[in-house]
Structures are given as structure tokens and as C-alpha cells.
Structure 1
Amino acid sequence: MIQEHHARSLHWDLRLERAGVLVSWAVPKGIPADPETDRLAVRTEDHPLEYAAFEGEIPKGEYGAGRMTIWDRGTYETEKWSEREVKVVLHGSRVTGRYALFRTKGENWMIHRMDPPADPDAEPIPDAVRPMLPERHARLPRDRAGYAFEFAWGGRRLAAYVEGGRARFTGGDGRAVGGPAGLGSRLGAALGARPAVLDGELAEVEGQETYLLFDLLYLDGRSLLDEPYRRRRELLDGLGLDGPRRHTSPWYPGEAEAVREAARAQGLSGILAKRLDSPYEPGTRSSAWRYLPFSTRR
């Protein structure tokens, strides 16, 4: 069985029943789905068999404090078991296939997938995606029903690349930058084992710097760049990523006037209009996205 453990840092606990106990490894970035990616697996103490059914909150002050859920469970076959190497075939609902665990130093092991990729069509998470930018326009689009309208927050562009419960960031030029303290771990915890690339900006909202998410470029091994804006936003909303100092920015199909009035009341500089059928065009200033400042006419 595999437990997702939201302790001080998110990790996954792989536990194999053997000789009346659960032999355990903590895997910080999750079980690899591709043989090209080996991951650290730290050998921990054996656990009693009763622990295989445990889900819940470990109280603060206790070892491993934090929320724990059962991420996968099933059966396994042993191909080899020694003090330095374990080879097994896992039969879970999420993880299946041949895996090797091999000791490197002390309690540090590595876990390696011996079979071909679990999803042969999965695309690797991109190293960097340059942001798509809006054109400045003086008027609202005539076909307002074909657009969604958003607030122009006026913040600093920040894309997040989340994988294995961790996140890294790129800025407005597509180059690596640091994110606000704790943001990466919080996004990693929110997404768990799901890899994703998120587009957004850091802006001040009600006196506090907040990461506002407004696009989803990659999810679960699939690029979404060619998907229409409407589909990307629906998928982003479905992730439920709102939390402390992060928020999924709202979008309003066809509601230009209401959004403009609300943005003006909040003291924002303008609004954005984004075509509902538009793909994401990296590094492009596209007419499919329009920035509409308040100083212009209707």
C-alpha cells in the first residue's frame, strides 16, 4: 500500500507486507512512472499490519504529524529480497509494474521502474514556457459572447511547474525565478502526485501578496497549449487550488460590463478579454487576448 503523507514535507510512504510487518520507505517525489526517472526512497521503521488501514490526521507534536490518506493499495509479487536490493511486481489501482529498490548509502535507497512507462503517451513536464501576452486595445470586442472577461490585477507574472509534490517557477521572460516562501510546498501539497504547469501572477489583493492563477498549460502528462481557453479554465477550476495566499482568478464569459464595473470599483487599471476558443501561444503577444484599460473609450 502507498500512503500520501502531508507531513512537514509532502511524501509518499510505500509499504510492503512481509514477515508480519509493513516494510516501509518514504518516497519524497512519489513512485516513478517512467524508467528514465529514479527517485529517492528513504528506508523507515517497519510498521504494524494494522497501519495498512490508517487514514487521518496525526496530531501536532507527534512523529509524522500531518494528514495521511491511502493513495493506492493492492498486492505484490517478490522477485528478489535482500538487505541491499528488493525487486517486486506491484498490482495496485494506480501503480502497476516491476520495480526495483536498491540501497545507496545508509537508509537512503532509490526506486526504479523496470517496466516501460506506465503511460507511453505521457509528455514530460516542460522546462519552461514563455508567457502569452495580451495586445492593448481601446474598445471592447464586438463579439462579446465569444470572450471571457477577467480582472487585470497588474501583478508580476509567475508560472509554476509542479511535479512530485514540489514546485519551481519562471518569470515573465520564461527564466527561472524564486517564488514566495512556502508557495511551492503549498502548491505541491494541493496537487499531490498530479504534475501541472500553472500560469498566473503575484499581485496585491486586499493588502496581501497573493498568487492569482488564471491558466493551466499542462496536466497529468498532457500539454494543454492547443486546448481552447474555455477548456483550460474549466480544468483549472476543477483542481480546487484556492488556499492561503493563492486564488484561482475568476473568469466571466460574455460579462464585459459587469466585470469592468467591478474592476473599476476595486481600483484596478482595466480588464482582460480572452477568446474562449483561443489556444495558448507561448511567447506571443496575441490579439486573442486583449488588455482594455479604463482610460479608453468603449
Structure 2
Amino acid sequence: MEALRRGDRIFRSLTQASAFLVLALLGAIFFSLIAGGFEAFKTFGFSFITTEVWNPVTEQFGALAPIYGTIITSAIAMLIAVPISIGIAVFLTELCPMALRRPIGIAIELLAGIPSIIYGIWGLFIFAPFMQQYVQPALISMFKPVPVLNNLFAGPPYGIGILTSAFILAMMVLPFVTAVCRDVFETVPPVLKEAAYGMGCTTREVVRTVVIPYTRVGIVGGVMLGLGRALGETMAVTFVIGNAHRISASIMAPGTTISATIANEFTEAVGDLYTSSLIALGLILFFITFIVLGLAQLMLMRLEKKAGT
């Protein structure tokens, strides 16, 4: 009996040490970013976040354009990917024939295993020319008479740009969100769906009134998992976003993101201020991710509390 208690204490200590190790690593990364980006914030102050200028020659650096590109590309990607992911998950769990469920599910999961640089190469040489030749001219002509949207979809059609990178990000996060939604949809007790069908509900009504309300916490978790992937994606975005440090009203114009800026310029950074500015960008991305995850946790807590009441 004493040996069993000793083994239990050892197991508890090991698991506790593992949890504290994760916190220690997170804290070490945080303080390293603060120390590395201190010179940039000391030199530029709060204007580092609110300034668009990025000129290594004159050592004038502002993070507004990368912050804008990171948020806009991730938001557009999630707007595209989430409805499609939920639709695929509903099809696989409610409508798809049994013989096709496993092959389609495996094919979607394989998309998650493709390296991001492959998405980037495909996006640059295949998808961007397709966008330039067909999609972007159609969008420009379609929204030209609309007062607000004509600025949002203004030309010329470069092929590369924020919209193209958002489409690539949507393709990359789609398998993650789909896999989570499919798994949580399968946890719905069959008796709930059978009762709804017995009352005369259609499949659409069962999904809307039973499946989605029952699994909304899991759906939010899957969406936040995909959003975290979109915020931190580097190589695929670097290939197709255009890497231009400017903010444009058009989502078809070239732009940049925080991760793409760091990947492109870190090896070329000459001088302490340039390097510190890039590290400061990493710190800002750290804060953006932390805020997104914090808001996700608050949302999940509210949903769980509402479900409990």
C-alpha cells in the first residue's frame, strides 16, 4: 500500500512539474520578447503601434500596417472558412452516406498535414494568377457601382494581396475547424435528434434547433483553434500577400502581416533598433493571440453558464 501511495505522489509531482514547465516557458518567451523589443518601444513609444511608416534606411518603424494586415486577413479567412467548415461537418454527420464518410473525412484531415510552404507555392503560382485573371476583375466590375464596396474591391487586379492570402488562410484553417465540428456533432445523443425527427422536424431544423445549440461550446473552441492558426501563419501568407508596408482601403491591394514581416526581414536586420522593432512585432502578435484566446475563454464560460441555467 505504501508503494502505491509513493507511486501516486511521484506521478502527481511529475504532472504538476510538467504544468509548471509550460508556464515557465511561456513566461520566458514573454520576458524575452519584452527585453528584445524594449529599445523599439523606448525610441518610438506608443507611436510604434499607431504609425504606418516602415523604413529601415532612415530607421523609422511603425507596426500599424502589419497589425492591420494580420487582423484583416485572419478575419476574412474565418468569415470564409467557418460557414464552409460547419456545412461540411453537418454533411458528414447527418447527410453523407456511410460509405463516403470515412474517405471524405480522411481527405479533409490530410489537408491539415500539408506544409504551409506548399500552400504558399501553390497560391503564388496557381491561385494568384487565377485570382488575377478571373476573380478580381469580376469583383471589381460587380461592386464598382456600389458606393462603399467599390473602395473595398478596388483595382488593379494584382492577383496577390490581402484577399488572396485570406483565401489561402481559409483553406488552411478549414480542416481544423471541420474536424472539431464533426467530432462535437457526433457527441449529440441520438435520442435528441430522433425526438426532433419524431415531431416532424426536417434535417435543417434538427441541425438548427438541436445539433448546433447542443455543441455550440465545441464549435466556438474549433473556431478559436482555427483563428489561432490564421493569426500566426507565416510562410503561406508571405508568398501571396505582397509584403507591402502600407494600409489600403481595398482588400485586393498588397499588404503584410506581423509574421510575414518578421520572416522576410529578420535575417536582413542591421542594427539594434531594426532587430528590436521586429522583436517588438513578435510581442504585439503575442498580445493579440493572448487577447483572442482570453476572449474565447470568456465566451466559452458565458456559453457554459447559459447552458447550465
Q: TM-score range by the shorter chain?
A: under 0.3
TM-score by length of 2: 0.18
TM-score by length of 1: 0.18
Greater helix fraction, Structure 1 or Structure 2? 2
Greater strand fraction, Structure 1 or Structure 2? 1
Higher RCO by CA contacts (8 Å cutoff, separation 6 or greater): 2
